[in-house]
């Protein structure tokens, strides 16, 4: 890992070899003017490399563009006065060095591989006139004798069509797929029979079914090895961005049917893609596990969502039976069974249960706050002994929803912003170093925090009208800050951040914080009792922790208690695909969670109203922010 020392300040930072010098400077908290996000078009980020080797184009004057230069060894980099606008910027936030980025959470549980469907090799005596027992009874006889004494074995009708061929093709040696029935460990159903020994060819697929995106992973069941991974948007997006609008669409004639068809078709496509990419045989796929929120799960199964929306918010089911291929209607081979992660309530779904199981909160003694800042803002508080959960209705602002130039975290999204405390000029980085198209979640947090830290906005989120910068201006929709000028964007218009955006964000972070408070209060605790915070979701790794605390999105506690965990829903789905114990645990977790319905909670409303300040009305809750 190379080091870069920045002159004249002398600060040194460890960097990855694929970090540009600009990104390294951002990590070190050193401001370099950079308004195109790394696209190499603004020419503002010129620096001089005084020692070391790097990859990147040298300019005629011997300088290089920091956004397009990558270290090949340790470097010493001098920032000219016109680039380093003000070194005092970094003095204002010394903690940003290192500790500002969260560590990755390591699961508290490692499940042994013990899949819900497993294959066993069975050898049968060939039939004869003196042993005329049927193919199926012959198989059962041997299974009972060799593998499953005193076990209740059932049979999936779909195996019977192929059974005689498999037995004879395999010369009376077959691999039998046995599916555990319910939670029982001594009741199995024969779900498939293959000719010969195919016991090492068992595959499974784990899917995170999100409101916006879907991720699917193909796993080798025996080893747990990840073979292939694909992601795509949820095609239901065209019928509504969030779960509420999807449920509204579902009420229309054919609406539910349409939504179900769209998503089953997409899942089917993704599964087929996993197999075509990996060159594996879909016949070897025995089961699929899917973790989705309650609404997504209902829509996938074609279940009525009307009562999820209406008071008192009742799901059709929270625990789901295994679905056969036929019942799932995905057009996949008949032997493939599907398991759906259990849900807790209308707005705390299988993705959260799966996340808890994946990370193993039910296996740790430490009091844990598990946060999924998605469109809904679900939170779980607890440990191995108890759990409470709630949905904060935070809305999708931190995913870019309802934000004028908000966008998802894809190429061209502004992902980090640093505001110069004197000139109020921004230093931005975009995903992929392309010209900006919009601002994604982590960019939104750092922008909001930066504007607040530099005093561009006040504690109520209103722009100061008296600043000496053209970037704060009155736009058509009210006051706004110009993040990227039109010429440096891909979208032929200035990218701006409006007061309305800020209002949305304050409401969203307020809902989250009020959620933590309400849950904590319900169990007689405060934020200081939290021993660890685990942040689920794709943007966890990009969030600047200090900034997220600054705006009051995360509680102001010891920084080393924070961990990001990535896609915990998928993590749990994988655990369930590989381990019956994880499936059993998911049931237990869903049952042990006490759900608090915040929509009807007066304390929550009080906390929420108090949270509509930056970082909060009650600064005592944010001592480190207050001290700055």
Task: Give the residues lining the site for a second copy (CB under 8 A).
Answer: 127-129, 131-138, 152, 154-158, 160-161, 163-165, 168, 181-182, 184, 301-304, 306-307, 311-321, 323-324, 326-327, 343, 345-346, 595, 597, 600
For residue 217, list its beta bridge partners.
Answer: 206, 229
Name the minimum Å distance from CB 193 to a second copy: 11
Name the minimum Å distance from CB 409 to a second copy: 33
Q: Which residue number, 134 or 276, has a Cβ lying nearer to a second copy?
A: 134
Q: Which residue number, 344 or 551, has a Cβ lying nearer to a second copy?
A: 344
Q: Which residue number, 328 or 488, has a Cβ lying nearer to a second copy?
A: 328
Q: Which residue number, 136 or 244, has a Cβ lying nearer to a second copy?
A: 136
* CA–CA separation, 67 and 432 (whole Å): 11
Q: Which residue number, 304 or 477, has a Cβ lying nearer to a second copy?
A: 304
Name the minimum Å distance from CB 145 to a second copy: 16
* CA–CA separation, 547 and 288 (whole Å): 39
Contacts of 206 (CB under 8 A, 6+ apart): 216, 217, 219, 288, 289, 291, 570, 573, 574, 576, 577
Contacts of 523 (CB under 8 A, 6+ apart): 381, 386, 388
Q: Which residue number, 154 or 609, has a Cβ lying nearer to a second copy?
A: 154
Q: Which residue number, 110 or 126, has a Cβ lying nearer to a second copy?
A: 126
Name the minimum Å distance from CB 160 to a second copy: 6
Name the minimum Å distance from CB 592 to a second copy: 14
Q: Which residue number, 46 or 595, has a Cβ lying nearer to a second copy?
A: 595
What is the radius of gyration, based on Cα positions, of the chain?
Answer: 28
Contacts of 92 (CB under 8 A, 6+ apart): 421, 453, 628
The b-or-e profile of 200-223 (16+ CB within 10 A means b, else e) is ebbbbbbbbbbbbbbbbbbbbbbe
Q: Which residue number, 79 or 590, has a Cβ lying nearer to a second copy?
A: 590
* CA–CA separation, 167 and 123 (whole Å): 9
Task: Say if residues 580 and 134 touch (Cβ distance below 8 Å).
Answer: no
Contacts of 444 (CB under 8 A, 6+ apart): 397, 398, 400, 403, 406, 501, 505
Q: Which residue number, 274 or 343, has a Cβ lying nearer to a second copy?
A: 343
Name the minimum Å distance from CB 138 to a second copy: 8
Contacts of 627 (CB under 8 A, 6+ apart): none
Name the minimum Å distance from CB 327 to a second copy: 5
Minimal CA–CA distance to 106: which of 329, 281, 361?
Answer: 361
Q: Are strands 203-209 and 285-292 parallel, antiparallel or unpaired?
A: parallel
* CA–CA separation, 228 and 207 (whole Å): 12
Q: Spell out the long-range contacts of 165-170 with Cβ–Cβ below 8 A and sequence spacing 24 or more.
A: 165/195, 166/193, 166/194, 166/195, 167/124, 167/135, 167/138, 167/139, 167/193, 167/195, 169/195, 169/196, 170/194, 170/195, 170/196
Name the minimum Å distance from CB 336 to a second copy: 14
Local structure of 596: helix, strand or coil: strand
Q: Which residue number, 257 or 277, has a Cβ lying nearer to a second copy?
A: 257
Residue indicated by tokens 């004869």: 128
Name the minimum Å distance from CB 522 to a second copy: 14
Q: Which residue number, 73 or 184, has a Cβ lying nearer to a second copy?
A: 184
Q: Which residue number, 163 or 502, has a Cβ lying nearer to a second copy?
A: 163
For residue 114, list its beta bridge partners.
Answer: 579
Q: Which residue number, 251 or 473, has a Cβ lying nearer to a second copy?
A: 251
* CA–CA separation, 135 and 139 (whole Å): 6
The sign one gets for the Cα dihedral 152, 156, 161, 165 is: negative
Task: Say if residues 381 and 388 touch (Cβ distance below 8 Å).
Answer: yes
- DSSP assignments along 56-106, one per residue: SPBPTTS-EEGGG-EESS-EEEEPPTTTS--THHHHT-GGGSSTTBPEEP-
Name the minimum Å distance from CB 335 to a second copy: 13
Contacts of 3 (CB under 8 A, 6+ apart): 12, 13, 14, 15, 74, 75
Name the minimum Å distance from CB 318 to a second copy: 4
Name the minimum Å distance from CB 578 to a second copy: 23
Task: Say if residues 609 and 506 touch (Cβ distance below 8 Å).
Answer: no
Name the minimum Å distance from CB 129 to a second copy: 5
Name the minimum Å distance from CB 337 to a second copy: 11
Q: Which residue number, 55 or 304, has a Cβ lying nearer to a second copy?
A: 304
Name the minimum Å distance from CB 302 to a second copy: 6
Task: Say if residues 154 and 206 touch (Cβ distance below 8 Å).
Answer: no
């Amino acid at each position: 890992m190379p080091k870069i020392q920045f002159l004249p300040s002398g600060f040194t930072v460890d960097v990855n070899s694929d970090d540009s010098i600009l990104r390294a400077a951002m990590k070190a908290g050193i401001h370099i003017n950079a308004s195109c996000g790394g696209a190499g078009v603004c020419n503002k980020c010129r620096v001089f490399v005084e020692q070391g080797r790097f990859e990147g184009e040298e300019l005629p004057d011997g300088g290089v563009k920091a956004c397009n230069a990558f270290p090949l060894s340790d470097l010493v980099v001098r920032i000219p006065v016109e680039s380093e606008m003000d070194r005092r910027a970094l003095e204002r936030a010394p903690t940003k060095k290192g500790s500002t980025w969260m560590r990755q959470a390591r699961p508290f549980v490692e499940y042994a591989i013990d899949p819900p469907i497993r294959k066993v090799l069975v050898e049968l005596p060939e039939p004869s006139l003196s042993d005329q027992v049927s193919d199926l009874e012959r198989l059962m006889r041997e299974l009972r004798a060799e593998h499953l004494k005193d076990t209740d074995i059932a049979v999936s009708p779909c195996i019977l069509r192929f059974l005689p061929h498999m037995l004879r093709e395999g010369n009376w040696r077959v691999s039998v797929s046995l599916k555990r029935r319910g939670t029982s460990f001594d009741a199995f159903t024969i779900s498939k029979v293959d000719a010969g020994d195919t016991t090492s060819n068992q595959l499974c697929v784990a899917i995170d079914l999100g409101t916006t995106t879907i991720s699917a992973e193909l796993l080798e069941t025996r080893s747990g090895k990840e073979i292939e991974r694909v992601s795509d948007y949820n095609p239901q997006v065209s019928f509504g961005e969030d779960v509420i609008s999807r449920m509204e669409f579902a009420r229309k004639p054919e609406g539910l049917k349409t939504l179900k068809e769209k998503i089953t078709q997409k899942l089917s496509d993704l599964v087929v893609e996993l197999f075509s990419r990996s060159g594996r045989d879909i016949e070897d796929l025995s089961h699929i596990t899917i973790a989705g929120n309650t609404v997504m799960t209902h829509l996938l199964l074609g279940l009525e969502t009307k009562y999820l929306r209406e008071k008192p918010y009742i799901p059709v089911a929270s625990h789901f039976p295994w679905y056969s291929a036929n019942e799932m209607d995905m057009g996949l081979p008949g032997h493939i069974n599907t398991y759906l992660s259990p849900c807790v309530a209308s707005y705390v779904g299988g993705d959260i249960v799966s996340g808890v199981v994946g990370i193993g909160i039910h296996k740790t003694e430490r009091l844990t706050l598990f946060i999924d800042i998605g469109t809904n803002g679900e939170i779980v508080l607890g440990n191995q002994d108890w759990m409470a959960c709630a949905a904060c209705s935070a809305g999708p602002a931190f995913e870019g929803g309802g934000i004028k130039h908000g966008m998802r975290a894809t190429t061209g999204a502004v992902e980090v912003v640093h505001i110069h405390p004197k000139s109020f000029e921004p230093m931005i980085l975009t995903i992929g170093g392309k010209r900006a198209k919009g601002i994604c979640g982590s960019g939104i947090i750092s922008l909001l925090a930066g504007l607040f830290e530099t005093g561009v906005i006040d504690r109520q989120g209103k722009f100061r009208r008296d600043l000496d910068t053209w970037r704060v201006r009155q736009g058509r929709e009210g006051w706004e800050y110009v993040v990227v000028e039109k010429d440096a964007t891909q979208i032929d218009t200035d990218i701006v951040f409006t007061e309305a955006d800020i209002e949305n964000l304050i409401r969203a972070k307020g809902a989250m914080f009020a959620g933590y408070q309400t849950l904590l209060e319900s169990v007689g605790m405060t934020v200081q009792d939290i021993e660890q915070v685990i942040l689920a979701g794709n943007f966890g790794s990009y969030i600047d922790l200090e900034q997220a605390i600054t705006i009051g999105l995360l509680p102001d506690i010891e920084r080393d208690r924070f961990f990001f965990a990535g896609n915990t829903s998928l993590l749990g789905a994988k655990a369930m695909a590989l381990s019956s114990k994880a499936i059993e645990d998911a049931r237990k977790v869903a049952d042990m969670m006490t759900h608090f319905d915040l929509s009807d909670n007066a304390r929550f409303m009080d906390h929420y109203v108090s949270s509509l300040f930056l970082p909060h009305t009650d600064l005592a809750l944010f001592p480190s922010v207050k001290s700055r």
